[in-house]
Structure 1
Amino acid sequence: MAITLPQEYSYVLLAATSTLFVNAYHSLLTSSKRKASGIKYPTTYASQELADKDPKAYQFNCAQRAHANFTENLTPAVIGMLVTGLKYPLLAAVGGGAWSFFRVLYAMGYVANGPSGRSAGGLGASLIDMTMKFAAAYTALSFVMNW
């Protein structure tokens, strides 16, 4: 089977590349909150006791968790973009770019307001993620079934 990339596939690659910069944003955010809190490496999170007393330690925990959540969701999101883009490149590109945008909102909200602040970014990213998963599954199936 030969797969010819659609002309617009370069936009999909651009959207997938945007996730590299979202990851860099998360890294900078987390490291700045680590420095502000005084929590040294290799400690992954401030203890609950410290986070309850120190708002800077709490913000570090929120930034760290937002970054972990991003990395947990990154691989499925990028695979969804790349596979969907084989048949629906504009959907994949717009969805991928929007996913990156919502992941930044997620991080900003989480760090500023704790877990309740992640809702808007989380909802947007989740809706796009589910759309990409179904579109990728349909795309893959269409190749298997020769549709």
Structure 2
Amino acid sequence: MATIAIDPNYGYVLLAATSTFFMNFVHGANSGKYRKAAKVAYPAGYAPADRTDEAAQKFNCAQRSHANFIENQPTAVAAMLIGGLRFPLAAASLGATWTVFRYVYMVGYSSGGGDGKGRLKGMPFWIAQLGLIGLAGYTGLSLVMGW
């Protein structure tokens, strides 16, 4: 049976995972800033479709960016924690890269523009996320296979 000893470098994985929690707070503050500018009252999640002004557009983009973040964060963090058991420095590096590109994605998407193309600058987060998923899968497979 394979066993795993926690490498002291696993602390970097935990720090990278923690960075995503702070990034979630940044997303909330960003959405709040655009909500206030667009004068969209709670509990509305988005500005109504009949609002075509720039403030409403930017708020909707900021909200969608935040929603996309929270759709992907659980997968990224879980993969980071699992993959980091075997590959702590690689997982921490990919996790930190993921967080940085999620910030770039948020800033780009929130800039509005109507077509959402500002988010494309942050799309490399997908490469980091797929890398994390690969590390997690390999870690599981190696335990099962006894590698």
**AA of the residue aligned to 1:126:** W
Secondary structure, in 3 states, of the residue corresponding to 1:74?
Answer: helix
For 1:84, the equivalent position in structure 2 comes to: 83
2:33 maps to 1:35 = no
Shift of 1:3: 2.7
Is the CA contact 2:83–2:132 (under 8 Å) kept in the aligned structure 1? Answer: yes
Is the CA contact 2:57–2:112 (under 8 Å) kept in the aligned structure 1? Answer: no
Shift of 1:113: 3.8
What is the distance in 2 between the residues matched to 1:63 and 1:56?
A: 11
What is the distance in 1 between the residues matched to 2:25 and 2:45?
A: 18
What is the distance in 1 between the residues matched to 2:22 and 2:45?
A: 22
What is the distance in 1 between the residues matched to 2:47 and 2:122?
A: 24
What is the distance in 2 between the residues matched to 1:92 and 1:136?
A: 9
- Counting matched residue pairs gives 144
What is the distance in 2 between the residues matched to 1:41 and 1:15?
A: 32
Q: Deviations over 1:14-68 (max 9, x none)?
A: 0000001100100000011101111000111112220x2x111111000000000
Shift of 1:120: 1.7
For 2:130, the equivalent position in structure 1 comes to: 130
- Any residues of structure 2 matched to 1:84-123 within 5 Å, and which? 84-114=83-113, 115-122=116-123
More displaced 10-residue stretch of structure 1: 96-105 or 41-50: 41-50
Tell me, which stretches of 5 or more residues in structure 1 are unaligned? none
What is the distance in 1 between the residues matched to 2:130 and 2:120?
A: 16
Shift of 1:81: 0.5
For 1:140, the equivalent position in structure 2 comes to: 140
What is the distance in 2 between the residues matched to 1:11 and 1:135?
A: 15
**AA of the residue aligned to 2:43:** P
What is the distance in 2 between the residues matched to 1:7 and 1:38?
A: 48
Tell me, which stretches of 5 or more residues in structure 2 are unaligned? none
Is the CA contact 2:4–2:86 (under 8 Å) kept in the aligned structure 1? Answer: no
**AA of the residue aligned to 1:146:** G
**AA of the residue aligned to 1:89:** P
